[in-house]
Amino acid sequence: MPMSRANGVDIYYERAGSGPPLLMLHALPFDHNLWLYQVARFSARYTVITLDLRGWGRSAKPDEPFSLRDMGQDALGVLADESIKEQPVLIGCSVGSKIALTLACETPEKFPAVIAIGGNSGPQDFSKRISDYASEAAEGNLAAFHLGHLRHGVTSKWADSPLGAYLLKGFVERGESLDARAIGRVFEALQGSNLLDALPSCHTPTLVVNGEFDSAREAGERTASLMPNASHHLVAGAGHCCFMEDPEDFDRVAVDFLRRNGL
């Protein structure tokens, strides 16, 4: 089982394909399998790295506080362990998009492009989400609560379809080892980040994508408007994790963006 310890915590990851590197950072409360369609498509011409963010999947469940910057360094540690020296394109959804934008804002010379999906670059309050995870876990209802949270990441129509229900069930089954305290730490790191002042100085080519029914759509449009070299795309009929609901539309737009930027 591939595990990176380059940043001091165990980070589970998977590598597929060959070529220029794409580093994919998943949304909460999913895991690296959120990118299953993109791994299948992009690994034909790219080295695709997916990982479980700390607190999720097979990665460590730390109890002590940490930041989004720490989570970004976890991801870069995976690249170091895999001896990938070429600059990676960052692709992230939700918290993954905020991690990607944090890295791009701080060291833009290291990343040729960013694809940010369903993300909010501004301040956020997850105090209720944190307390709900803690109370539901204490009552033995974590699996059911996890499923309810997963459903927030997609449209109800897709979640209730045979394929959607099957895939969401898989995330719940793989989430048996989730720890409410570690989950709370991830949300604390997320709500402690505000990139709005940094975005206007970030010239990294960026594609911001939202689903039509994404609750973060307005925040995504704001992110794109603040960045000097960003564009925005809307995936019709989809929710927060639009690339899982409509991989064909998302992949088409992502491929076009990468080609236009010589990637």
Give the model confidence (pLDDT) of 125-142 as tens digits: 999 999 999 999 999 999
The span from the CA of 67 to the CA of 183, in Å, is: 13
Indicate whether 217 pLDDT > 80. Answer: yes
- d(C-alpha 94, C-alpha 118), whole Å: 5
- CA dist 245 and 163 (Å) reads 10
User: Measuring CA to CA, which residue among 142, 121, 147 is closest to residue 132?
Assistant: 142
Taking the model in full, what pTM does it have?
A: 0.96
Cβ proximity of 112 and 235 under 8 Å: no
CB distance 9 to 62 below 8 Å = yes
What is the model's pLDDT at position 255? 97
- State the pLDDT at residue 163: 97
Q: Is the peptide bond before 29 cis (omega within 30 degrees of 0)?
A: yes
Dump pLDDT digits (tens) for 53-80.
999 999 999 999 999 999 999 999 999 9
Say what the pLDDT of residue 26 is. 98
The pLDDT of residue 118 is 87
CB 229, CB 18: distance < 8 Å: no
150, 28 Cβ separation under 8 angstroms = no
Q: Which is it for the CA torsion 175, 16, 27, 85, positive or negative?
A: positive
pLDDT in tens, 166-213: 999 999 999 989 999 999 999 999 998 999 999 999 999 999 999 999
Q: Which CATH number does 3-260 carry?
A: 3.40.50.1820
Query: What's the start-to-end Cα distance of the chain, in Å?
Result: 30
In the prediction, which pLDDT does 1 show?
Answer: 72
Residue indicated by tokens 């950072």: 25
Which of 159, 153, 163 has its CA nearest to residue 30?
Answer: 153
Paired sense of beta strands 230-235 and 206-211, if any? parallel
Tokens of 32: 């690296």
SS3 87: coil
What pLDDT score was predicted for residue 192? 87
Residue with tokens 């409360």: 29
Strand bridging mode 114-117 / 89-93: parallel
At residue 145, the pLDDT reads 97
Beta carbons of 9 and 54 less than 8 angstroms apart: yes
Using DSSP bridges, classify how beta strands 47-51 and 11-16 pair: parallel, antiparallel or unpaired: antiparallel
Whether the CB-CB separation of 254 and 231 falls below 8 Å is answered with no
The CA-CA-CA angle for residues 165, 170, 173, to 5°, reads 125
